[in-house]
């Protein structure tokens, strides 16, 4: 990576790592669903404004609202609400560590949903990840009582939902731009929970500190984090961008200790290290895997398909993005 790429990776890790601390400030007042609604609606409107000003492809909500609604529930409303509940009960750093189990659930869900083959490294990674969670939970890091166990279950369920949401996005939004995907899911996620929030408003008025934390979560952590994430994928690719996932819990662990006075136990460090090893086993490329670019289409006279150039622009089903002519319909020669 170039120095600018490393700086972007560190900035994104700090942004997303500190988000757990801000959730701990805002969630007790607004409630998990209230915080999700405010965060998603403000972030989606900010991204929508950016998309219009930058002339980027926007989501086709009218045609695909059901798909965006399902994605918003799987990838935003439910996991963010569960994480907000867990952060109130546990240390922010503990919830951030449990969130790193998402790749472990992704491997299992992809094997069941997409019929992807489980390798020995995948199985070993999942088992190590579960061992790390057991060390984390059994090492005295939890508060006494059943609430701690329920909160851990909520954080792990959130990680599972993130995994399912990622797979659903891969299946249902193949040709949709990342920005359109983010706007669509966040806008529909906010609208989904808004009636519940209006029916049960917060018992006390939010303080300026809570409002500042909520706006920062929406504009910096969600909207700004998404833009930075997309830029990193464009610059260095999705595999190298995943380095951020390893840095986020470290940032939360250090920031929680320095800013909130959260204790850093040996069980937290040991559990985090074991989960990291498990995720690394899953994330590493398979030996002999070669990434190839799709070949240019061949034309008539070579006995293969002839591209038919449409008379008007093509759009993908979930956004208003124009598709290049070479992605048009192919007819047999």
174 and 322 in a single domain? The answer is no
Spatial neighbors of 144 by CB under 8 A, at least 6 apart, are: none
Q: What are the φ/ψ torsions at residue 47 (nearest 5 degrees)?
A: -70, -35
Same domain, 315 and 232: no
Answer whether residue 172 is part of any domain: yes
d(CA 188, CA 67): 10
Question: Do both 329 and 252 map to the same domain?
Answer: no
Of 244, 260, 276, which residue constitutes the final position of a domain? 260
User: What is the reported pLDDT for 57?
Assistant: 87
Higher pLDDT, 129 or 313: 129
Does any domain span residue 325? yes
Residue 30 is assigned to a structural domain of this protein: yes
Residue 281 lies inside a defined structural domain of this protein: no
Residue 141 confidence class, pLDDT cut points 50, 70, 90:
low
Residue 320 has pLDDT above 70, yes or no: no
Return the closest-CA partner of residue 75 out of 49, 50, 109, 31: 109
Lowest mean per-residue pLDDT among 18-22, 170-174, 221-225: 170-174
| Same-domain check for residues 220 and 301 | no
56 versus 331: which is more confidently predicted? 56
Give the total number of structural domains in the chain: 2
Q: Check pLDDT > 80 for residue 140.
A: no
Say what the pLDDT of residue 321 is. 56
**Residue 199 shares a structural domain with residue 317:** no
What pLDDT, on the 0 to 100 scale, is given for residue 291? 41
Query: Is the pLDDT at 127 greater than 60, yes or no?
Result: yes
Q: What average pLDDT does the segment 236-250 reach?
A: 78
pLDDT at residue 22 in the model: 94
Please state the three-class secondary structure of the chain as a single string.
CCHHHHHHHHHHHHHHHHHHHHHHHHHHHHCHHHHHHHHHHHHHHHHHHHHHHCCCCCECHHHHHHHHHHHHHHHHHHHHHHHHHHHHHCCHHHHHHHHCCHHHHHHHHHHHHCCCCCCHHHHHHHHHHHHHHHHHHHCCCCCCCHHHHHHHHHHHHHHHHHHHHHHHHHHHCCCCCHHHHHHHHHHHHHHHHHHHHHHCCCCCCCCHHHHHHHHHHHHHHHHHHHHHHHHHHHHHCHHHHCHHHHHHHHHHHHHHHHHCCCCCCHHHHHHHHHHHHHHHHHHCCCCCCCCCCCCCCCCCCCCCCEECCCCCCEECCCECCEECHHHCCEECC
Q: Would you say 81 and 32 are in contact if contact means Cβ atoms under 8 Å apart?
A: yes
Average of per-residue pLDDT across 264-269: 84
Least-confidence region, from 182-191, 293-302, 310-319:
293-302
Residues 253 and 303 placed together within one structural domain of the fold: no
- pLDDT of the residue at 139: 67
Q: Looking at the domain assignment, is residue 124 inside a domain?
A: no
pLDDT in tens, 21-45: 999 999 999 999 999 999 999 999 9
For 194, counting Cβ atoms within 10 Å of its Cβ (0-12 exposed, 13-18 middle, 19+ buried), the class is middle
The per-residue pLDDT for range 207-224, each reduced to its tens digit, is 999 999 999 999 999 999
Q: Does residue 305 carry a pLDDT above 50? A: no
pLDDT attached to residue 310: 37
State what percent of residues in the chain have pLDDT above 90.
32
Mean pLDDT of 34-63: 92
Token duo for residue 79:
């996991």
Residue 249 belongs to a domain: yes
Q: In the prediction, which pLDDT does 80 show?
A: 92
Cβ contact 228:178 at 8 Å: no
Same domain membership, residue 90 and residue 185? yes
Which range has highest mean pLDDT (120-129, 134-143, 170-179, 210-219)?
Answer: 210-219
What is the distance between the alpha carbons of residues 195 and 199, in angstroms, rounded to a whole number?
Answer: 6
pLDDT at 82: 94
pLDDT digits 0-9 by tens, 83-120: 999 998 888 888 888 888 888 888 888 888 888 888 88
Burial of 233: CB neighbours in 10 Å, binned 0-12, 13-18, 19+? middle
- Taken as a whole, the chain contains a residue count of 333
Together in a domain, 253 and 321: no
Residues 254-263 pLDDT 10s: 888 888 888 8
Does 138 fall in a domain? no
Can you tell me the distance from the alpha carbon of 282 to that of 238, in angstroms, rounded to the nearest whole number?
15
Reply yes or no on whether the pLDDT at 173 is more than 50. Answer: yes
Q: Is the pLDDT of residue 78 over 60?
A: yes
pLDDT of residue 89: 87
305 and 174 in a common domain: no
Instruction: Verify that 52 and 154 share a domain, yes or no.
Output: yes
CA gap 270, 186 in Å, rounded: 35
Domain that holds residue 14: 3-117+143-260
Both tokens of 99, joined, read 């969130």
Q: Are residues 55 and 180 in the same domain?
A: yes
> Residue 149 pLDDT > 50, yes or no?
yes
What does the mean pLDDT of the chain come to? 81
First-residue to last-residue Cα distance in the chain: 45
C-alpha distances out from residue 261 to 8, 91, 136, 265, 321, Å: 28, 10, 19, 12, 47
Is 290 domain-assigned?
Answer: no
Residues 99 and 181 in one domain: yes
Asked whether the predicted pLDDT for residue 289 surpasses 50, the reply is no
């Amino acid at each position: 990576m170039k120095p600018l790429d490393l700086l972007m990776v560190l900035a994104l890790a700090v942004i997303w790592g500190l988000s757990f601390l801000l959730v701990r400030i805002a969630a007790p007042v607004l409630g998990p669903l209230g915080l999700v609604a405010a965060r998603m609606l403000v972030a989606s409107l900010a991204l929508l404004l950016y998309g219009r000003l930058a002339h980027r492809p926007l989501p086709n909500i009218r045609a695909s609202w059901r798909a965006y609604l399902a994605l918003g529930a799987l990838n935003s409303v439910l996991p963010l609400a569960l994480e907000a509940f867990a952060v109130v009960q546990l240390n922010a750093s503990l919830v951030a560590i449990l969130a790193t189990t998402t790749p472990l659930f992704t491997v299992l869900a992809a094997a069941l949903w997409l019929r992807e083959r489980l390798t020995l490294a995948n199985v070993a990674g999942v088992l190590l990840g579960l061992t790390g969670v057991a060390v984390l939970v059994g090492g005295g890091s939890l508060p006494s009582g059943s609430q701690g166990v329920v909160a851990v279950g909520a954080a792990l369920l959130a990680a599972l939902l993130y995994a399912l949401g990622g797979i659903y996005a891969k299946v249902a939004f193949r040709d949709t731009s990342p920005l359109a995907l983010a706007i669509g899911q966040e806008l529909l996620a906010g609208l989904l929970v808004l009636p519940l929030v209006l029916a049960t408003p917060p018992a006390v008025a939010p303080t300026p500190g809570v409002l500042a934390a909520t706006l920062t979560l929406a504009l910096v952590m969600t909207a700004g984090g998404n833009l930075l994430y997309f830029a990193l994928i464009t610059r260095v690719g999705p595999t190298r961008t995943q380095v951020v996932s390893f840095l986020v819990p470290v940032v939360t662990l250090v920031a929680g200790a320095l800013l909130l006075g959260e204790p850093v136990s040996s069980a937290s460090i040991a559990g985090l290290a074991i989960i990291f090893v498990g995720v690394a086993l899953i994330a590493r490329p398979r030996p002999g895997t070669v990434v190839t670019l799709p070949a240019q289409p061949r034309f008539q006279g070579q006995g293969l398909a002839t591209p038919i150039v449409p008379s008007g622009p093509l759009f993908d089903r979930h956004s208003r993005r124009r598709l290049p002519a070479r992605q048009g319909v192919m007819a047999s020669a």
